[in-house]
Structure 1
Amino acid sequence: MKKRIDDIELLRGFAVLFVVIHHAADNLFTWSTPGLTRFYSYFGGWFGVDLFFAISGFVIARDLVPRLQQSYGTTHTLNITLAFWVRRAWRILPSAWLWLAIILIASLAFNQSGVFGTFRTNFEASIAGVLQVANIRFAETFMQSEYGTSFVYWSLSLEEQFYLLFPLLILLSRRLLPYLLLALVLIQIFSVRSVMLMSFRTDALALGILLALWTQHSSYLLIKPKILSGHRAGCILMAGSFLCMAALASNQLHIVSIPVGLIALLSALLVWLASYDKNFLCAPGFFKQVMIWLGTRSYAVYLIHIPAFFFTRELWYRLYPEQTVLSDHCFYPFILISAGLILLLSELNYRWVEMPLRNKGAAIARGLVQAEPSARGSTPAANPTRASRT
C-alpha cells in the first residue's frame, strides 16, 4: 500500500491554511477595519479542522482496520493495537509537548506585552494538553475565561481520545463497524451542537473511516470519477466546496441549523476524490507541490501558528513601544513576520523533531508486531486456517 497520497497532502495543506487564516482574526490582527470585519464575518476557516478530521479518519483506518481484521490471535491483535498507539504517540506527542514547553517559557521570558497571558493559565492549559483533556477545558472556558495560548490542542485531545478507543471498537464490533459508524454520523449530523458537543464532534472522523472501509470493496473503483482527470472540473469542485464550507462556518450567514454536519459531508466528499490519488482535485505543477509541502508540515504549522502570531505581536511591542494602538499599517508587516516564523519553525520542527521521532516510533512499532510471529515460529500465511476464522 502506498503510504503517502499526494492529493491527501494537498487537502491537508488547504485545511491548515484555512485554520491559520481563521485564527489570524483577534490573535494576530487585534484591530478592526471595515475590510477585516467584512471578510471574517463571511469567512469561517474553522472548517479546516473538520477537513483534518476526515483526512485523519481515512488515513488511520485504511492501515489499521485491515491489520486488526487480519490478526490471527489474541497476542498478535494486542501487539498490533499497542504498535498503533506507540506509533501515534511518537508521531504526535513530542512536537505537542515541545510547543507546550515553549509557550510556558514565552509566558515567563518573552511576554512584556502580556500577549501570551499568565503563566498560571498556560500551565493549566499545558496540563490539560498533556492529559489529553484539552477539548473539555476548551468547552468549559469558552466565552467564560481565558484558555491559554495552546487552545488549538482541543482537536488533538479529541483525536487521541477517539483513537485510544478505536482499536477496541474495531475488535468488538467486527462486521458491525460500518453500521455503528454510520449511526454515529447520522446522530451527529442532525444534532444541535452545544459547545461541549462541538468539542467532541466525531462525524467527520467517522466519515473518513467509512470511506477507508469502502475502498476495500469493488464498488469504490466502479464509480471512480475518471471524468475529472485532466480537467479543471475537479479544481472548480474543490474551490466550490471550500466556498460552501466557509459560508457554512461564517458568523453572519445562517444557511441551515446543521452546518457542522454538512461541513463533515463536504469534507468526506473531498477526501473521497483525493483518495484515488489521480490528480482529480488539482493538476500537477508548482502550486500543487507547494500545497503538498505545506500539507506534509501541516501538523507543525497547526501547533506553531498561534505562538508565531503572539511572537510577532510581542516583537512589535518591543520594537515600537510607543504604538499603543495598532491599525492597518501593521497588516503587511504582521503577515510577513508571522508567516516567516511559521514556515521556518515548522520546517525545523518537521526535520529535527517530527520526522526523526516518527521514524523512531515506527521502528518500535514494527518490532512489536514482528516479535509475536517470530516467537511463535509462524506467520499468518503459515497458519491459514486460523487466519480465515479471525
Structure 2
Amino acid sequence: MSYPKPRHDNAIDGMRAIAVLAVVIFHVDASLLPGGFSGVDLFFVVSGFVISQSLASRPHAHAVPYLLDFYRRRVLRLLPALLLVLLVTFLLSALLMPRAWRNEQFDQTGLGALFGVANFVLAWQQGDYFSPGADLNPFLHTWTLGVEEQFYLLFPLLFLVWLRARQSRPWVNGILPLLALASLLLAAWQTKAAPISAFYLLPARLWELAAGALLYQCIAARTLAPHWQGWAVPGLLLVVVGFLFAGDQPVPFPGAIATVVGTVMLLGAAASANGAPRPHVLLRGLQWAPLVYLGRLSYSLYLWHWPLLVLLRWTYGMQGIALWAYPVMLLALASASYHWVECPLRNAHAGRRWHPGKLLLCAMAGLGVSTAGAWTILHYTDSLSLSATRDGYAWRAQRQPAWMPVEPIDAPALAGRRLFVAGDSHAAAYRNMVTIAARQFDLELHIEERGGCSIVNLLRASSVDCAPYVGRVLQKIEDEARPGDIVLLASLRMQELRDADWSRGEAAGFAALRGERSAADTAAAERDADAVLQRLQALNVQVIIDAPMPVFRSAAYRCSDAFNRMNPACAGGLSVPRAEMEALRAPQMAMLQRLSARYPALHVWDPMPLLCTPQRCAAMDGDQPLFFDQDHLSGHGNRTLLPDFDRLLLEIGERTAAIATPPAAGVPHGTP
C-alpha cells in the first residue's frame, strides 16, 4: 500500500528560502550572520522529510521500477541545472581566475562535483571549510550536493524495506533510528578526532537527513494533532539560535543540533497544519508569496550564489557597486535557471513518459559530454585565460623544461657535485633557478620542500610539527652528501605583511611588525640554526642561506590584470619602501653575520640588491613578475637571480676544489 501524494506545502518552500538566504548572507559577510552556514543543516533535514514524502507516494510493489523511477525524478530535478552551473563556472574560472597552485585543487573539486563526490575531494585535500583561501574555490559549495547524492544512493532501498515490512516485521522500524543514532555518535567523536571528514562526509551527516525522514515516519504512523502547530515558535527560535551561534561550536556536533531540532519542529508544525482552516500565524508567514518563490528558487540560488560570489572576489571584489549588483545578478541567474532549465526539463513530456532506464542512459551521456567539456576547458586554460598569469613561463617557478636548451658553464671544480635544496615552500620557489644551475654546472640536484616547515628561519623556534620533516631532510643529507657538496637552505625569513594592521598607516604598520619579535624568539631561532649548521659542518659540505627577501602586502598574481587591480585585496600595492625592508630584516642579517663567523662553510647569499632599487622593492619588473604572490619568486624572478647564483656557485667551486670528493666511477649524475 502506498500513501497518497501529499499536497504541496508552501511552508516548506518558506523554510528553504530562509535556509538559502542564511547561507548567502553568511558567505557574503560572515559577521552579519555568524552561523548562517547552518542553513545547510536546515536543507538536509528538509531533504530527508521531502524525499520520504516522495518515496511513500509511489507504488512500491516492484523494487527495481520503484528505485529507477526515484532516480529518474532525482536526475530530472538536479542534474540539468547542476551541469549548467558547473560548465559555466569552469569556463568563467578559466577566463578570469589567475592561475595559482591552488587552482589544481579547485579544478579537482569541480570535477568531483560532476560525479557527486566533491565532498570526498575536499576531505582528501585536508582543507578546512573555514580556512584561508577556501572562500576562493568556486566549487566549494558542491560538497553539500555530494552528501545528498550519496544519501540518495542509500536511502531509497532502506525506505523501501520500511514501506514493505514495517507492519509485518516491527523491528524494521528501528533500522533508521539506529542508523541515525550511530551517525550522531560518530559525529560527536569524529568532530574532534577527524573534523574535516566529519564536516564533509555523509557518515557524520546522516543523522541530519535521517531526522527529517524519521519525522515523516512518525507522521505516517499517527495523525498529528492540531496543537502541534505550537512547535513552530520554539522551532524557529532554535533555527535562529543556530544561525547566530553555530559558528561558536564545532560542526556538525554540537554545532548543528539547534538547527536540526528546530527544523524538525518547524516541519512537524507545518505538517500538522497542512489543510487546517487557520494555520499558526508563523506558518502563514512562511507561506508568504515572495518567500515561497525564493524557496522554489532555492536550488538554483544555492547553485549560483557561490561561484558568482567567488568570481567577484577574484576580479572586482565585493565592494561598492558589486555589493548592490550581486543580489540582482544572483536573482536573475537563479530565476533564469529555474524557469528555463529546471522546470522545462523536469516537466517535459519525454522526461515523464520515457522509461526510467532510457532517461538514465541519456543522463549518463549528458554527464559524459559535460565531463569532456570540463576537461577540455581545463586542458586549454592557458589559451582561454584573460589573465597575465597565463604566461606560465614568466609566472611559475617550475622546473626548467628538459627540452629547453641551457648554455653549459665550464666549471670542472663543480661538475659531479650534489646540490641539495631544502626548506619550506620557498625552496620549491627556487626550482627554476636551481634546475637551470644544475644543468649548467652538471650538478646532481636534490630538492626537499614542505610548505610551512623551514629548516633555518632566523625568526623564531622551528615548529614542533615540522621536526620529523627537518630530521628526515638532515638525515638524507648526512647519508648522501660527500665533502664539497652544496646545501641551499631556503625559507621565508621575513614577517608576512598580509595580516598586519595597516589601519594607522604604513610607517605604523612596519613599526608594529618590528616590535612583535622578542629576544626569546631571536635566541630560539639562533639555537635552531646552530643545531642544523653543526650537523652540516661535520659533513664538510658548503651551506648557502639566502638572506631575507622582500615581502609585499598584496599578491602579484591577483593584482596584475585590468579586471582585478581595483580589488580590495590589492589595496596594499605591489611595492614597499626598501628602507622598511632593510629595517625589518636587520635582526636576521645580524644573526647571519654571527653565524658566518662561527661556521666558515656558511655562505650568505643576498638577492635583495637584485630585486630592489635603492628606494623601493617591487613585485613587478615592468610588466614581468619578480614575485608570484606576496613572498614567493616567479619564474622570471628565478631567472633574474640566476646569474648571481651562478657567480656564487663558481666562487664556492674555486674555494673548495681541494676538498670535493668526485663521484664514484660508473655512478650517473646530473639533473633528475
TM over 0.5: yes
Aligned to 1:302: 302
Map 1:96-111 onto structure 2 (within 5 A): 96-111=82-97
Separation in 1, partners of 2:179, 2:245: 21
Aligned to 2:116: 132
Does 2:331 align with 1:340?
Answer: no
CA contact (8 A) 2:247 2:255 kept: no
Aligned to 2:563: none
Map 1:1-390 onto structure 2 (within 5 A): 1-25=5-29, 36=31, 39=32, 43-67=34-58, 71-72=60-61, 76-111=62-97, 120-141=104-125, 142-143=127-128, 148-172=137-161, 174-175=165-166, 176-190=171-185, 191-192=188-189, 193=191, 194-199=195-200, 200=202, 201-218=205-222, 220-221=223-224, 223-225=225-227, 228=230, 234=232, 236-251=233-248, 258-275=254-271, 276-277=273-274, 279-280=279-280, 282=282, 284=284, 288-313=288-313, 316=316, 330=319, 333-360=321-348, 364-365=351-352, 367-368=354-355
Identity rate of aligned residues, in percent?
27
Separation in 2, partners of 1:227, 1:266: 13
Instruction: Give the superposition deviation at 1:145.
Output: 9.0
Aligned to 1:30: none
Separation in 2, partners of 1:258, 1:365: 42
CA contact (8 A) 2:49 2:212 kept: yes
CA contact (8 A) 1:80 1:368 kept: no
Can you give the 5+ residue segments of structure 1 that lack an aligned partner in the other structure?
27-35, 318-325, 372-390
Change (3 A) 1:254 1:336: same
Amino acid at match of 2:333: L
Deviations 1:62-117 (A, max 9, x none): 121353xx533xxx3211210110110121111111111111111122336x7x99
Change (3 A) 1:284 1:132: same
Amino acid at match of 1:274: A
CA contact (8 A) 2:108 2:121 kept: no
DSSP 3-state at the match of 1:163: helix
The normalised TM-score by structure 2 is: 0.45
CA RMSD for the aligned pairs? 3.2
Aligned to 2:617: none
DSSP 3-state at the match of 1:215: helix
> Which has the higher mean CA deviation after the structures are superposed, 149-158 or 183-192?
183-192
Change (3 A) 1:87 1:66: closer
Instruction: Give the superposition deviation at 1:224.
Output: 2.9
DSSP 3-state at the match of 2:140: coil
Instruction: Give the superposition deviation at 1:314.
Output: 5.1
> Which has the higher mean CA deviation after the structures are superposed, 281-290 or 209-218?
281-290
DSSP 3-state at the match of 2:347: helix
CA contact (8 A) 2:77 2:342 kept: yes
CA contact (8 A) 1:132 1:156 kept: yes
Separation in 2, partners of 1:170, 1:257: 26
Instruction: Give the superposition deviation at 1:120.
Output: 3.7
CA contact (8 A) 2:176 2:210 kept: yes
Instruction: Give the superposition deviation at 1:357.
Output: 1.3
Instruction: Give the superposition deviation at 1:286.
Output: 10
Hey, which of these two has a bigger chunk of strand by percent? 2
Change (3 A) 1:109 1:215: same
Separation in 2, partners of 1:254, 1:129: 25
Aligned to 2:406: none
Change (3 A) 1:83 1:348: same
Can you give the 5+ residue segments of structure 2 that lack an aligned partner in the other structure?
359-672
Hey, which of these two has a bigger chunk of helix by percent? 1
The normalised TM-score by structure 1 is: 0.74
> Which has the higher mean CA deviation after the structures are superposed, 97-106 or 134-143?
134-143
Separation in 2, partners of 1:165, 1:254: 27
> Which structure: larger Rg?
2
Separation in 1, partners of 2:101, 2:139: 11
DSSP 3-state at the match of 1:204: helix
Aligned length: 329
